[in-house]
């Protein structure tokens, strides 16, 4: 397909869509489906057919505020309805062209006003199983522009100029990574998309893969052109069957349109993508472990160097980026690096998608410009902690991250600021905790996770996480001592310094950050054998027989 | 070099053909091990010794390596599932919203630990690492269907409905 053909196709699809007077978009993401969005869509389609109006009922990806689901948006008026069920279908359809249904209308202006949508620009607007819906919203334009008007170096230059950093959590500059793979010598190179969202409490990548799969594929294809790769793999968690199905459909459609395969856009560029299923191992988020898993082996990391950029999958130069990183590529190519660099803070550019969950009014997916204050995300976008309880901490970065207390909420979100607070950006889970959560117990929860997920290759992580767990368990049962606390701190430092990969190196973070901000809770557990939040079940003190 | 002939199918069960299909699609390459094990588990519900042996021989992977892979990844199961499966999500958002209490209640009701199946093979009680429905925590999967904001009573009711089937 040439760029003219793509533009002509977009025009034709646009004209087809214009035939409809109204579009009724139904969010069909996991959260809404679990509340009956399936039946709702059927009821809407039936009502639309019966009413005689020109209505298109469309399934879409995640619209964002999952706690208000199931969600329906009526276009062109952009009316958002919340908590809709199949029984409301008739009322919604008959209101088309007239006044909206007042009892279903939701007022989330504050929630949306603070957000900037780049990665999620299509979420809620396209049917993820229809490539035409993607094409009509400028889909694949960036790929064809790159192939016909830009050199591979030009593409890398634009990504570098944008300041995009890896969205998987590490924050490595994307342009630099691409440049390294491009310079690596080899006739065969690979591009790998890390969709192994193993961080518990995060679902941004799932929503992007399910709601806008072509965006990920387009980003991968552009990357492949830039670094000189001809083959791609998307590594997806097996726990995400819908994402696997949507990506499979998207790949088939892209091949059918000639946007993947040999000689894309009449250029010598060949590229195709295969899906590989993860099998439930958090450590496979680490690059070298992920490579081992794609090769069909146990997902254990290897010391670096050599970096995957030089010797990766099957020993070939390999570019690995996260889903959200790839999802940012097409808009950067379309709008320019400067456009992207204008958003965000000095060293963290663009936007970040967060999965906002826990004890907060508006749970769901949000996309905010980097640099926004945590307070704005939690109190304005998230609507704050539900009445009756007080905010205690927000956890970012999953098992590798930390807990940030109320007094630090005025810090702007960026890679560096979060590290300074003792946490990390991570992939984007943001879990709000109130006064019913015990921070010692939270630390134990994450350490238990890391202990279970440690691959066992290096001793500091394998044995260290187990020892951390034992010590924390003593505190949680009221049997710990102050000496145990000193031991724990020393252990944390050792594990951080001596572990082989990121899993071990960051496993102490939840402990260190809770110790930094909530040391008094630890002291309460140790000295007074009391859990202030009432979560830990303390053992009755053992009588010492003299 | 002698040409490699894959071993014959273990039985005339049609599901082996599906398994073989995955391996053939990947040219019986060693790196297809995890893909193939996924196919076996989705066809048979779990991985038993015979299936692991068959896959290992077909892909020319040492048995130790195949077994190592099976036991490394949480997703693979060496035990047959019950007729029904109650999976409790153990992700962070679910933990914050009380998934531990749900798990304790289910353990008490069924008299088995997470990861086990009731003696009559009726119900398996499992733990998920995170199903990505965090906004509706706490989440359980009833035979794979996501249910959000689940209370203890709702979960116990479901277990009781299954028990009398």
Q: Confirm or reject CATH 3.60.21.10 for domain B84-163, answering yes or no.
A: no
Q: Could you give the count of Cα atoms lying within 13 Å of A367 in the half-sphere of its Cβ?
A: 22
The average pLDDT across B29-41 equals 97
Edge-to-edge strand list for the sheet holding A272-277: A272-277, A231-236, A190-195, A318-322
Contact A437 B96 (CB under 8 A): yes
Partners of residue A357 on adjacent β-strands: A431
Residue A21 contacts residue A53 (beta carbons within 8 Å): yes
Note the maximum CA span of chain B. Answer: 65
Q: Tell me the pLDDT tens digit for each residue of B66-108.
A: 999 999 999 999 999 999 999 999 999 999 999 999 999 999 9
**A296, A386, A433, A510, best to mutate vs chain B, most B CBs in 10 Å:** A296
Contact B129 A429 (CB under 8 A): no
H helices, E strands: number in chain A = 23, 13
In angstroms, the separation between the Cα of residue B165 and the nearest Cα of chain A is 24
Coil, helix or strand for A75? strand
- Write down the pLDDT at residue B1: 61
Residue of A nearest to B42 (CA): A238
Q: Which sequence spans correspond to the domains of chain B?
A: 15-72, 84-163
Chain B residues with CB-CB distance to A under 8 A?
A: 30-35, 37-38, 61, 65, 68-69, 72-76, 90-93, 95-97, 128-137, 139, 145-148
Interchain pair B129, A66: CB under 8 A: no
Q: Nearest CA to CA, how far is A510 from chain B (Å)?
A: 12
- The per-residue pLDDT for B6 is 86
pLDDT by residue for chain A (546 residues), tens digit each? 889 999 999 999 999 999 999 999 999 999 999 999 999 999 999 999 999 889 999 999 999 999 999 999 999 999 999 999 999 999 999 999 999 999 999 988 889 999 999 999 999 999 999 999 999 999 999 999 999 999 999 999 999 999 999 998 889 999 999 999 999 999 999 999 999 998 898 999 999 999 999 999 999 999 999 999 999 999 999 999 999 999 999 999 999 999 999 999 999 999 999 999 999 999 999 999 999 999 999 999 999 999 999 999 999 999 999 999 999 999 999 999 999 999 999 999 999 999 999 999 999 999 999 999 999 999 999 999 998 999 999 999 999 999 999 999 999 999 999 999 999 998 899 999 999 999 999 999 999 999 999 999 999 999 999 999 999 999 999 999 999 999 999 999 999 999 999 999 999 999 999 999 999 999 999 999 999 999 999 886 555 555
Which chain B residue is nearest to residue A363, measuring alpha carbons? B135
Alpha-carbon B39 to chain mean position: 12
Inspect the interface and report whether the beta carbons of A298 and B69 lie closer than 8 Å. Answer: yes
pLDDT of residue A543: 53
- Which residues have a Cβ under 8 Å from the Cβ of A137 and sit 6 or more positions away? A121, A122, A125, A126
Report the pLDDT value the prediction gives residue A181, as an integer from 0 to 100. Answer: 98
pLDDT in tens, A234-274: 999 999 999 999 999 999 999 999 999 999 999 999 999 99
Residues of B in contact with A364 (CB under 8 A): 135
A398 to chain B, any CB pair closer than 8 A? The answer is yes
Instruction: Tell me if chain B has a CB within 8 Å of the CB of A296.
Output: yes
Q: Which of A105, A27, A109 is nearest to A381 (CA)?
A: A109
User: Looking at residue B124, what is its pLDDT?
Assistant: 97
Q: How far apart, in Å, are the Cα atoms of A57 and each of A154, A263, B30?
A: 41, 36, 46
- CB-nearest to A238 from B38, B61, B148 is B38
Q: What angle do CA A274, A279, A282 make, to 5 degrees?
A: 110
Asked if A196 is an interface residue toward chain B (Cβ–Cβ < 8 A), one would say: no
Chains A–B, number of C-beta pairs less than 8 Å apart: 138
| Distance (Å) from the alpha carbon of A31 to chain B's nearest alpha carbon | 6
- Residue A537, chain B, CB below 8 Å: the answer is no
Q: Which domains occur in chain A, in start order?
A: 19-109 (3.40.30.10), 138-341 (3.40.50.11540), 351-434 (3.10.20.600), 439-527 (1.20.1440.230)
């Amino acid at each position: 397909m040439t760029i003219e053909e793509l533009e002509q196709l977009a025009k034709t699809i646009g004209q087809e869509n214009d035939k409809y007077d109204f579009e009724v978009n139904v969010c069909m993401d996991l959260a809404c489906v679990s509340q009956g969005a399936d039946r709702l869509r059927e009821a809407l389609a039936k009502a639309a057919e019966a009413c005689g109006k020109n209505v298109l009922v469309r399934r879409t990806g995640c619209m964002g505020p999952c706690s208000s689901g199931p969600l329906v948006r009526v276009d062109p008026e952009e009316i958002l309805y919340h908590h809709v069920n199949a029984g409301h279908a008739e009322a919604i359809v008959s209101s088309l062209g007239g006044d909206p249904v007042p009892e279903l209308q939701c007022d989330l202006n504050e929630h949306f006003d603070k957000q900037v949508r780049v990665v999620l620009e299509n979420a809620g607007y396209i049917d993820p199983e229809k490539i035409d819906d993607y094409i009509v919203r400028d889909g694949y334009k960036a790929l064809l522009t790159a192939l016909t008007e830009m050199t591979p170096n030009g593409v890398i230059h634009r990504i570098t100029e944008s300041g995009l950093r890896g969205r998987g959590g590490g924050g490595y500059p994307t342009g630099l990574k691409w440049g390294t793979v491009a310079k690596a010598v080899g006739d065969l190179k690979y591009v790998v998309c890390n969709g192994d969202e193993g961080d518990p409490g995060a679902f941004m990548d799932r929503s992007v893969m399910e709601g806008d799969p072509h965006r990920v594929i387009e980003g991968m294809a552009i990357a492949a052109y830039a670094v000189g790769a001809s083959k791609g793999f998307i590594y997806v968690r097996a726990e995400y069957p819908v994402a696997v199905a949507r990506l499979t459909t998207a790949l088939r459609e892209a091949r059918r349109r000639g946007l993947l395969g040999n000689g894309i856009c009449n250029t010598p560029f060949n590229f195709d993508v295969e899906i590989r299923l993860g099998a439930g191992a958090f450590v496979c988020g680490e690059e070298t472990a992920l490579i081992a898993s794609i090769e069909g082996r146990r997902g254990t990391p290897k010391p670096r160097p050599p970096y995957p950029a030089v010797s990766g999958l099957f020993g070939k130069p390999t570019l690995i980026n996260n889903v959200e990183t790839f999802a940012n590529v097409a808009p950067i190519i379309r709008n320019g690096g400067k456009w992207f660099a204008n958003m965000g803070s000095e060293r963290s550019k663009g936007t970040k998608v967060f999965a906002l969950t826990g004890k907060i009014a508006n749970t769901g997916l949000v996309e905010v410009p980097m640099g926004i204050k945590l307070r704005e995300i939690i109190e304005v976008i998230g609507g704050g902690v539900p009445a009756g309880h007080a905010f205690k901490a927000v956890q970012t970065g999953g098992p590798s991250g930390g807990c940030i207390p109320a007094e630090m909420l005025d810090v702007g979100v960026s890679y560096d600021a979060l590290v300074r607070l003792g946490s990390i950006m991570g992939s984007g889970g943001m879990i709000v905790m109130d006064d019913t959560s015990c921070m010692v117990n939270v630390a134990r929860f994450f350490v238990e996770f890391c202990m279970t997920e440690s691959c066992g290759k290096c001793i500091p992580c394998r044995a260290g996480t187990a020892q951390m767990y034992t010590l924390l368990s003593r505190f949680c049962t009221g049997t710990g001592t102050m000496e145990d606390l000193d031991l724990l701190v020393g252990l944390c430092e050792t594990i951080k310094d001596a572990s082989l990969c990121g899993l071990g190196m960051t496993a102490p973070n939840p402990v260190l950050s809770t110790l930094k901000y909530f040391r008094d809770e630890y002291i309460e557990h140790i000295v007074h054998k009391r859990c202030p939040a009432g979560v830990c079940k303390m053992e009755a003190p053992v009588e010492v027989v003299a | 070099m002698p040409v490699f002939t894959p071993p014959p199918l273990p039985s005339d069960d049609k599901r082996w053909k599906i398994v073989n299909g995955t391996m053939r699609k990947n040219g019986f390459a060693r790196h297809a091990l995890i893909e193939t094990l996924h196919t076996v588990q989705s066809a048979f519900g779990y991985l038993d010794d015979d299936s692991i042996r068959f896959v290992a021989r077909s892909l020319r992977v040492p048995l130790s390596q195949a077994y190592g892979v099976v036991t490394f990844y949480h997703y693979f199961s060496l035990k047959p599932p019950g007729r029904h499966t109650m999976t409790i999500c153990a992700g962070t958002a679910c933990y914050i919203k009380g998934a531990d209490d749900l798990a304790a209640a289910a353990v008490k009701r069924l008299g088995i630990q997470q990861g086990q199946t009731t003696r009559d093979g009726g119900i398996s009680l499992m733990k998920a690492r995170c199903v990505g429905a965090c906004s509706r925590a706490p989440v359980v999967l009833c035979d794979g269907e996501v249910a959000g904001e689940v209370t203890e009573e709702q979960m116990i009711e479901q277990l009781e409905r299954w028990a009398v089937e």
